[in-house]
């Protein structure tokens, strides 16, 4: 492990006014999204879509890194150039999703543990040779009055710790993603309580596995009301609760917090990020985004697998990246979205 390399990569990923594109959907997940829009899903169509995003002119001004899926990091464009090299040529850091998904957790009904540790050391070596300089592992926690159980939290925290240690051994920056799901009728207070417990356990596991905190990034959920909760918290309440939780449980030496969108609409994820960034409370780590659908949805709905829509789809992606980059700096204005009328809103779109 070379600490200086890890720290440099982590800092570059959270450079001022930049965030991360999460383009790491599995082939199965992306196929479902394609099918909803009647787009044929083949390795070639999935490559074409990813290449559309990766080659959008001007996007490197707002995107520091891209998380890829195994299929994508092995693909080449029509000229035979690896997609990871296309990113590197633009100054965008290639990354890779390395977990193999959440599976039922034995003895914990309704809960999951993320798998993929078997053979991970060798896979990380391969991915680094293919250009990856950071990797992501996602654990998910379902919220009810009694869930998540401590067994679920402990099992996933342990896996995140082992993942992070193996990454750093190979000079790959780990992005640790413990996601408290927004699905459910829980209050914002319950979300905060669960997230605090999860973060506490995760950082204990990272310490136990001798993970260099200066050479990692945290990808957490924002503190939100459950999607079916009758009382939806305002943007200011979300921002305040999120920062209080992070300040209490995320060590100051962590270089950056890269929020997931977690099922929020594209516009709402931008608005929440903007309010969090605007709050004057001192933040010891950089705040930015690592969004998937919240960056891609409009672009995908514009493209529809039609080559004639290639440029408009890139414009939609560029626009969303630009809006989120502005939000990182606390400079987003809703009028920035006025010409993109197709963007969605959600039940969380309440005034601050």
What are the residue ranges spanned by the domains of the chain?
Answer: 3-337
Digit-coded pLDDT (tens) for 222-253: 999 999 999 999 999 999 999 999 999 999 99
177 is catalytic: yes
Tell the burial category of 22 from Cβ atoms under 10 Å away from its Cβ (0-12, 13-18, 19+): buried
Both tokens of 83, joined, read 């997609």
2 is catalytic: no
Place of tokens 């891209």: 66
Digit-coded pLDDT (tens) for 106-147: 999 999 999 999 999 999 999 999 999 999 999 999 999 999
Determine what percent of the chain falls in helix, strand and coil, rounding each to the nearest 5.
Answer: 45, 15, 40
pLDDT at 338 exceeding the cut of 90: no
**Catalytic-labelled residue, pool 219, 271, 286, 343:** 219
**Catalytic-labelled residue, pool 25, 177, 179, 343:** 177
Distance CA 158, CA 233 (A): 32
Phi, psi of 131 (to 5 degrees): 115, -10
Question: Own/partner pairs for 115-119, CB < 8 Å, 24+ apart?
Answer: 115/159, 116/163, 117/159, 117/162, 117/163, 117/166
Q: What is the mean pLDDT of residues 87-114?
A: 97
CATH 3.90.1150.10 is held by the domain 3-337: no
Place of tokens 């920035």: 336
């Amino acid at each position: 492990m070379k600490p200086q390399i890890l720290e440099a990569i982590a800092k570059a990923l959270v450079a001022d006014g930049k965030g991360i594109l999460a383009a790491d959907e599995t082939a199965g997940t992306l196929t479902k999204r394609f099918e909803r829009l009647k787009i044929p899903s083949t390795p070639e169509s999935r490559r074409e879509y990813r290449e559309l995003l990766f080659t959008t002119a001007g996007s490197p001004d707002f995107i520091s890194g891209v998380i890829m899926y195994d299929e994508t990091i092995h693909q080449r464009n029509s000229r035979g150039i690896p997609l990871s090299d296309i990113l590197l040529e633009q100054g965008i850091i290639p990354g890779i999703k390395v977990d193999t998904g959440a599976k039922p957790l034995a003895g914990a009904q309704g809960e999951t543990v993320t798998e993929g540790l078997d053979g991970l050391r060798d896979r990380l070596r391969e991915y680094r040779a293919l250009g990856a300089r950071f990797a992501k592992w996602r654990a998910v926690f379902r919220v009810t009055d009694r869930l998540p159980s401590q067994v679920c939290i402990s099992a996933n925290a342990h896996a995140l710790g082992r993942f992070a240690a193996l990454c750093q051994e190979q000079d790959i920056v780990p992005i640790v993603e413990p996601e408290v799901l927004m699905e459910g009728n829980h209050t914002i207070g319950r979300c905060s309580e669960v997230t605090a417990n999860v973060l506490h356990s995760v950082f204990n596991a990272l310490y136990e596995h001798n993970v260099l905190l200066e050479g990692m990034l945290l990808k957490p959920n924002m503190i939100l009301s459950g999607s079916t909760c009758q009382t939806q918290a305002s943007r200011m309440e979300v921002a305040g609760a999120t920062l209080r939780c992070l300040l209490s449980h995320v060590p100051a030496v962590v270089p950056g917090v890269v929020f997931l969108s977690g099922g929020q609409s594209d516009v709402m994820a931008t608005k929440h990020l903007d309010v969090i960034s605007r709050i004057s409370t001192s933040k010891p780590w950089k705040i930015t985004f690592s969004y998937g659908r919240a960056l891609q949805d409009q672009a995908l709905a514009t493209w529809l697998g039609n080559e004639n829509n290639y440029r408009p789809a890139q414009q939609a992606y560029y626009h969303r990246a630009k809006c989120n980059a502005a939000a990182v700096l606390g400079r987003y204005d809703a009028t920035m979205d006025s010409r993109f009328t197709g963007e969605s809103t959600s039940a969380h779109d309440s005034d601050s």
